[in-house]
Amino acid sequence: MFILSGDRKLSDFIKTYRIVPDSICKSIITRSNLLDYDIHKWNDSNDYYHTGDSKDFERTKLDDASSHLLNPYIQEAFKRYTFDLALSFKFSGKSTISFNRYTKSTRMKSHIDHIRSIFDGTTKGIPILTILGTLNDDYQGGKFSFWESNIYDLSAGDVIIFPSVFMYPHSVTEITEGTRYSFVQWIY
């Protein structure tokens, strides 16, 4: 296990909270199915833009009404995170909320959240925290993991928060049945 100063481990900075009510999760899933999705895209270290393959999940931006529904729960999770870890820091802003849909046979490869695509050229920053929420649990597979060995079996309404840095590579295993819905927002 990775040990930091004293007895702190990297995993100590990963926190999960059951916070989003089931009714909100269901409402957002219903709303999201009316939106257009694209296969996940990303920039590599040379700033080349890539489109995923047929195994990659789909992503879209949440509409304003859905974002408005989620914001109080994201803010509450963030407050709990900073309190639980006795953290105090300033941040410049937060990204818009993205919505992820994983259908059967899709997954998310191991990666880190050094996300630059959340900035429009005028707004700039470095992601500090990733806030990810799971909206359903009626699927098979789709386990969220760090370092390919620390597995988090997230349920509907769970929000997981972790640092968006190179020390936190994470992935989602392949969906074997059903559809997995989640959202993500980055604090920078």
pLDDT of residue 39: 76
**Average pLDDT over the chain, rounded to whole?**
87
pLDDT more than 90, % of the chain: 60
Give the integer Cα–Cα distance in Å for 52 and 167: 23
Q: What is the pLDDT of residues 110-157, one digit of tens each?
A: 988 877 667 667 777 788 999 999 999 999 999 999 998 999 999 999
102: which 2 tokens?
């994983």
Give the integer Cα–Cα distance in Å for 111 and 119: 19
114: which 2 tokens?
């050094």
pLDDT of residue 174: 95
Exposure class string for 83-95: b at 16+ Cβ within 10 A, else e = eeeeeeeeeeebb
Q: Can you tell me the mean pLDDT for 30-34?
A: 88
87 CB-side CA count, 13 A:
17
DSSP state of 115: -
User: What's the pTM?
Assistant: 0.87
CATH code given to domain 12-37+55-187? 2.60.120.620
Q: What is the pLDDT of residues 77-103, one digit of tens each?
A: 999 999 999 888 788 889 989 999 999
Domain boundaries of the chain, sorted by first residue: 12-37+55-187
pLDDT of residue 3: 45
